[in-house]
Amino acid sequence: MLYQRYRETRAYTESLCEPLEIEDYIPQAVEFASPPKWHLAHVTWFFEEMILRPHVPNYPVFDQDFAFLFNSYYHAMGPRALRAERGVITRPTVAQVYQYRAHVDEHMQRLLQSDASESVSSLVELGIQHEQQHQELLLTDLKYVLALNPTFPVYRSDFSLVSNHNQDNGWLEVAAGLYPIGYRGTGFCFDNELASHQVQLSDVQLSRALLSNGEYLAFIEDGGYRDFRHWLDEGWAWVQREEIEAPLYWQHIDGEWFYYTLGGLLPVDPKAILAHVSFYEANAFANWAGKRLPTEFEWEVAASQLDWGKRWEWSASAYLPYPGFTINEGAVGEYNGKFMVNQMVLRGASSATSPGHSRTTYRNFFHPPMQWQVSGIRLAASV
């Protein structure tokens, strides 16, 4: 059954690439967004390096160079390909990367059909979760690079990522009290969700609906991007330095707002849920509206009563270790802990998140100016 999940995850990654031309697999537009070819190979390298090499006797490594080219941030594994240069590595070809995937899949199949050890299973589960994370990044990174093309290429005309509407409205009240936070189940979770503990909340209410494009347009039209009073100091510097005037992918053309989507350039739908805002924008909007963002703890406590999963929701919480957080030994231990500074937590999941890859305890995190994830806004208010 684990093999079944492995196989489905691998197949889903490749299905995401079906609409691509070979050319689309190559470029890296910015340091934070990687090319599809790299994602395809990197998740495969994870299985080869973390599982097949240590656990399969005489495993024939597909190509020694790949460990160097498709490692990401795992310092413990030796020299990395410079992140900034991923887009200039034309060889191996895309075809060779698919061969690499097939080679690893074949050996994974043999291993999973013979080895039921707990240590292998938990690494395979981590590898599946890891590949699911890269499925989402593959989509958001691809959108970023296609959006730079003045011809607005269409990935799939039925696949915009940003068209969904709210199903719910009004406010949800959460009463003050001591609440448990963190993962307490028996299934998979990441290390940053562990160390379950109690957090004291004050009375708070959370919006049942996520913010819509129409509501955000009111902020734009009220001059929200031109009034420093709504903004954090660093947010205001960002707005001015980068000349930000709207969410990422929005364009003002002949007096109307359009946005680039994976389905092409479309008019902004005022009823659709807002996406592609930074933490700075989310925080500024909340200030302008006289509200605030929920903390990640308020969100987690309320989540079972919320309709979530369409947008990553910026929280008011910095990404920090839970009390009692510990880091695993070895390369796998580099997974989360070392990013716990200067990033803000996002909760929920988005329309780009792979099916099955979400939990109410899940902690996503990005730097405050990042807009390229399918990130939105849920308001809160102290009562």
Residue 294 lies near a second copy (rule: CB under 8 A): no
Report helix angle 233-241 to 279-288, nearest 10.
120
Q: Within 58-87, which residues bind a second copy (CB under 8 A)?
A: 65, 68-69, 73, 75-76, 81, 85, 87
Q: Which is nearer to a second copy, 283 or 351 (CB)?
A: 283
Q: Which is nearer to a second copy, 84 or 102 (CB)?
A: 84
Residue 244 lies near a second copy (rule: CB under 8 A): no
Q: Within 76-135, which residues bind a second copy (CB under 8 A)?
A: 76, 81, 85, 87-94
Residue 316 lies near a second copy (rule: CB under 8 A): yes
Report helix angle 279-288 to 213-221, nearest 10.
70
Residue 23 lies near a second copy (rule: CB under 8 A): yes
Distance in Å, CB of 213 to a second copy, minimum? 25
Residue 153 lies near a second copy (rule: CB under 8 A): yes
What gap in Å lies between CA 291 and CA 329, rounded to an integer?
42
Asked if residues 205 and 380 have their Cβ atoms less than 8 Å apart, the reply is: yes
What gap in Å lies between CA 194 and CA 191, rounded to an integer?
5
* Interface region with a second copy, contact rule CB under 8 A, candidates 17-25, 51-59, 214-222, 244-252: 17-25
Residue 175 lies near a second copy (rule: CB under 8 A): no
Asked if residues 279 and 317 have their Cβ atoms less than 8 Å apart, the reply is: no
Which helix (H) or strand (E) element contains residue 259? strand 256-261
Give every CB contact of residue 219 below 8 A, 6+ residues apart in sequence. 284, 285, 288, 289
What gap in Å lies between CA 124 and CA 272, rounded to an integer?
37
Q: Within 328-357, which residues bind a second copy (CB under 8 A)?
A: 338-342, 344
Return phi, psi of residue 292, to 5°. Answer: -145, 175
Site for a second copy, rule CB under 8 A: 21-27, 29, 37, 65, 68-69, 73, 75-76, 81, 85, 87-94, 145-146, 148-151, 153, 178, 197-202, 204, 228-229, 231-236, 279-280, 283, 292, 295, 316-318, 320-321, 323-324, 338-342, 344, 368, 382
